């Protein structure tokens, strides 16, 4: 894929003229990272917008005791790091690669200049920020009103719908997520997720092999959300 085609595939850049896309390809940098590599930490200065061309990145709130809360997982076509660029404050969370990833980087002044020239990009940013706020509201709601088995079932279905392959009433999720990652996504301990996975496997609702998690019966898993 050439650089122009690559930019055309990114939702944030939809609606740009060919000249603007061409200009973006000239000013963006590329960064390749390994799985587990930290892109930035909460509290650091933010000077760059990141767009994922290939790979997976988790956005994490760290705690002083070493625990983590995974706010969201981003994949190809998603952008992150816009908050510090828009409000001039430090990074609001850590960003860590989950899979080997290839990222496109845009510096702050280029990003702000690009926004002032492109109404469609401003709307794309607002729309993404609204979607993220909604998802965070859901996370808060679930943490307040659902128990761990229900939260975990909901998260597995969401992961399957976002990153998995569906076939009938089954879904396959192939990602380097550890039990700790799964626990950090639903605000539970690794032990409680280990126990819940064992229950789900014993009931035949999910199966695990290496990085592949298979939901064998989506309807049965959904019944656990209440
Ligand atoms: P920034 O604050 O620059 O660095 C961390 C990034 O994580 C932030 O920009 C957003 O891109 C992203 N981020 C922070 N909080 C959330 C959230 N609740 N949902 C989705 N993405 C977030």
Residues 43 and 9 in one domain: yes
Residue 37: the pLDDT is: 98
Rounded Cα gap, residues 166 and 218, in angstroms: 10
Last residue of a domain, one of 118, 144, 170: 144
Residues 133 and 151 in one domain: no
Residues 126 and 69 in one domain: yes
Residues 122 and 21 in one domain: yes
Residues 102 and 169 in one domain: no
Pocket mutation for ligand 1, best pick of 39, 45, 59 (most atoms within 8 Å of C-beta): 59
How far is residue 195 CA from its own chain's centroid?
Answer: 25
Pairing of strands 206-209, 212-215: antiparallel
Residue 1: the pLDDT is: 67
Residues 140 and 158 in one domain: no
Residues 58 and 71 in one domain: yes
The protein residue whose alpha carbon is closest to atom 16 in ligand 1 is: 71
Q: pTM score, two decimals?
A: 0.92
Last residue of a domain, one of 106, 124, 144: 144
Q: How far is CA 189 from CA 66, 168, 176, 213, 222, in A?
A: 12, 32, 18, 19, 22
Are residues 134 and 142 in contact, defined by beta-carbon separation less than 8 angstroms?
no
Rounded Cα gap, residues 75 and 188, in angstroms: 23
112 Cβ neighbours under 8 A, 6+ residues apart: 85
Residues 34 and 133 in one domain: yes
Q: Is 132 in the pocket of ligand 1 (CB under 6 A)?
A: yes
Residues 157 and 140 in one domain: no
Say how many Å lie between the CA of residue 136 and the centre of ligand 1: 11
Q: Return the CATH number at 218.
A: 1.10.10.10
Output the CA torsion sign for 51, 156, 213, 160.
Answer: negative
Residues 172 and 126 in one domain: no
Rounded Cα gap, residues 158 and 161, in angstroms: 5
Please identify which residue in the block is written with the tokens 């990602």: 175
Q: How many domains does the chain have?
A: 2
For residue 98, with 0-12 CB atoms within 10 Å meaning exposed, 13-18 middle and 19 or more buried, which class applies? buried
Residues 100 and 114 in one domain: yes
The per-residue pLDDT string of the chain (226 residues; one tens digit each, 9 = 90 and over) reads: 677 888 888 888 888 888 888 888 899 999 999 999 999 999 999 999 999 999 999 999 999 888 899 999 999 999 999 999 999 999 999 999 999 999 999 999 999 988 888 888 899 899 999 999 999 999 999 999 999 999 999 999 999 999 999 999 999 999 889 999 999 999 999 999 999 999 999 999 999 998 899 999 999 999 999 8
Residue 3: the pLDDT is: 75
Beta bridge partners of 105: 29, 50
Q: How far is CA 26 from CA 22, 114, 128, in A?
A: 7, 13, 25
Beta bridge partners of 215: 171, 206
Are residues 12 and 79 in contact, defined by beta-carbon separation less than 8 angstroms?
yes
Last residue of a domain, one of 144, 165, 189: 144
Domain that holds residue 94: 3-144
Q: Is 69 in the pocket of ligand 1 (CB under 6 A)?
A: no
Residues 107 and 46 in one domain: yes
């Amino acid at each position: 894929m050439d650089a122009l085609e690559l930019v055309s595939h990114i939702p944030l850049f939809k609606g740009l003229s060919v000249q603007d896309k061409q200009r973006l390809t000239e000013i963006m940098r590329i960064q390749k990272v390994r799985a587990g590599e930290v892109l930035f930490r909460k509290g650091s200065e933010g000077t760059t917008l990141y767009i994922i061309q290939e790979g997976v990145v988790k956005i994490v709130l760290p705690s002083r005791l070493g625990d983590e809360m995974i706010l969201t997982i981003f994949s190809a076509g998603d952008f992150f790091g816009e908050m510090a660029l828009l409000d001039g404050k430090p990074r609001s969370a850590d960003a860590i690669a989950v899979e080997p990833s290839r990222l496109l980087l845009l510096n702050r002044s280029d990003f702000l200049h690009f926004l002032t020239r492109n109404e469609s990009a401003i709307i794309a940013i607002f729309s993404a920020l609204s979607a993220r706020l909604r998802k965070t509201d859901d996370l808060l709601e679930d943490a307040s009103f659902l128990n761990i088995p229900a939260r975990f079932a909901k998260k597995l279905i969401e992961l399957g719908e976002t990153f998995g392959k569906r076939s009938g009433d089954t879904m396959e999720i192939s990602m380097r997520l550890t039990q700790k990652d799964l626990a950090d996504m639903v605000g539970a301990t690794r032990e409680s997720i280990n126990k819940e996975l064992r229950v789900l496997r014993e009931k035949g609702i999910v199966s695990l092999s290496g990085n592949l998690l298979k939901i064998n019966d989506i309807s049965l898993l959904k019944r656990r959300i209440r």
